[in-house]
Amino acid sequence: MPASTSQKLTDTYPLNIGQALLPKITLKQLSVFISIYQTGSTSAASEQLHLSQSAVSSALTELEDRLKMPLFERIGRRLHRNDNAQAIYIQAQAIMSQCLTLEQYHQYQAGRIHIGASTTIGNYVLPSLIQQIYGDRPDAKVEFFIGNTRDVVSEVEQLKVDIGLVEGMPRPTDSKLIEQKAWRHDKLIVFAKKDSKWLEGIAAKQQNNTSDDKYKESSYQLTTKQLAKIPLLVREPGSGTRQVIDEQLLQYMPQAEVVLAIQQSEAIKNMVKADIGFGCLSQHVIEADLKQGSLIAIDIKDIDLQRVWWMIWHKQRHKSDIWQEFVAGLIAENNS
C-alpha cells in the first residue's frame, strides 16, 4: 500500500486500542527479524540475541505467518532477503527505535523535576534548593516556574509542575485534587528608609539589645492608626505576601489613605528607598538592606505578620524518585 494511502487510512480510521484488536506481532519477533536481516542467518541471530536457534526460527516463522508473506528465501543454510524484507525492516527498525525512546523517556523522567515557586521563594530561596538537588543528583534535570501564589496553584492544578512552593494559604479551585503540607515559617516586615520623612514627629523607641530576633530590634513602633496615614507599598492581589497583609494587617486599617499594589518586590524596595512610603515584604527580601542600614524595620503594635510557606502537589501527579527525595528534604528541613 502506498504511504499516502496508508496515511489517509490512518487519518480516517485513527488507532483506538479500545475498539481495535491488539496486534499479534511481538517485539521479540521484530527483534529476531532485524537480527536475521543484519546477520543473514538464524545461527548468527541466535548468538546475537542469546536465544536458541529453534526459538529464532520459530519467531521468524510466526512473523511471516502474521504478515502473510515470506521475508527470506532459504537457500542452503543461508537466508536471502526477498523483495518484502527491506520495507518490513525499515518499519521494524522504527518500531524498535520508538520502544527504546519510551525506555529512555522513563529514565529521563526519573531524574526530572519541574518546580513552581511563588515570587519571594523563587527569587530568594529556590536557588539554594536547586543547588542541593544538583549536589545529590548531578545528572538531574530541574525546570522551574516563578509567579505569584495564584499562578503557581493554577500550574499545579493543570499538572504543569510537579510541586509548588507558595507563600500564601493555597486556595485551589478543587481542593480535593490538591495535597498541601506546611513547609517553613516566614515573617513579613514593615520597613522604611532610614531617616524617612514619614517618621518625623514619631518618637524612636528604646532599643532592646537582648532580643534574639534581630527583626524586632527596630527603632520605631507605630500603631495601625499611625501607619494608616503613611503610603503603604505592597504586593499585588493574588500574591501570598498580599494575602497575609490583607488578612493580618490591612483589616485593622480600614482608614488607610494610600495602598499601592506593585508586582515586583525589588520595585517596592527601591520606592521605599526613594521615601515614597513604607513597604511590607518578607524578611528574605530585605534582610541584606536591614543589615546594611539603608532600610529599617518598623514594629506595628499588636500586629504579628508571621506566616507559613506551603508545598502543594496534584494528587494525580506521578511521584518519581527525585520528587520523593526533594519533598523528603523539605520535610526534614521543616522538622529540624
Per residue in 230-246, pLDDT tens? 999 999 998 989 999 99
Q: What is the pLDDT of residue 104?
A: 60
Q: What is the pLDDT of residue 165?
A: 96
With a pLDDT cut of 90, the percent of the chain lying above it is 54
Report whether pLDDT(208) > 70. Answer: no
Percentage helix, strand, coil for the chain under 3-state DSSP, each rounded to 5: 45, 20, 30
Strand partners, 280: 190
Report whether pLDDT(287) > 80. Answer: yes
Report whether pLDDT(312) > 70. Answer: yes
* DSSP notation for 267-289: HHHHHHHTTS-EEEEEHHHHHHH
* Structure-block grid coordinates of residue 104: 529512555
Sketch the domain layout of the chain as residue ranges: 27-104, 185-203+217-308
Least confident stretch, 37-41, 77-81, 187-191, 194-198: 77-81
Mean pLDDT of 67-74: 89
Least confident stretch, 79-93, 224-238, 302-316: 79-93
Instruction: Note whether 278 and 245 are within 8 A (CB).
Output: no
CATH architecture observed for domain 185-203+217-308: 3-Layer(aba) Sandwich (3.40)
108 pLDDT tier (thresholds 50, 70, 90) = low
Q: What is the pLDDT of residue 32?
A: 92
Q: What is the pLDDT of residue 5?
A: 38
Higher confidence at residue 168 or residue 47?
47
Strand partners, 262: 235
With a pLDDT cut of 70, the percent of the chain lying above it is 86
Q: What is the pLDDT of residue 12?
A: 42
Mean pLDDT of 168-190: 88
Least confident stretch, 80-84, 201-205, 282-286: 201-205
Residue type, 308: V
Instruction: Note whether 221 and 303 are within 8 A (CB).
Output: no
Q: What is the pLDDT of residue 79?
A: 84
User: Residue 233 and residue 268: Cα distance in Å, rounded?
Assistant: 6
Report whether pLDDT(48) > 80. Answer: yes
Report whether pLDDT(316) > 50. Answer: yes
3-state secondary structure of 226: helix
Q: What is the pLDDT of residue 235?
A: 92
Q: What is the pLDDT of residue 217?
A: 53
CATH fold of 27-104: Arc Repressor Mutant, subunit A (1.10.10)
Q: What is the pLDDT of residue 124?
A: 93
What's 13-26 look like in SS3?
Answer: CCCCCCCCCCCCCC
Report whether pLDDT(3) > 60. Answer: no
Q: What is the pLDDT of residue 305?
A: 94
Report whether pLDDT(150) > 60. Answer: yes
Phi, psi at residue 33, to the nearest 5°? -60, -45
Least confident stretch, 27-41, 62-76, 193-207, 281-295: 193-207
**Which ranges constitute the DSSP H helices of 42-157?**
42-49, 53-67, 85-110, 119-124, 126-136, 149-157
Average pLDDT over all residues of the chain: 85
Q: What is the pLDDT of residue 20?
A: 53
Calculate helix-pair angle for 27-39, 42-49, nearest 10 degrees: 120
Mean pLDDT of 19-24: 63
On the 0-12 / 13-18 / 19+ scale of CB atoms within 10 A, 215 is middle
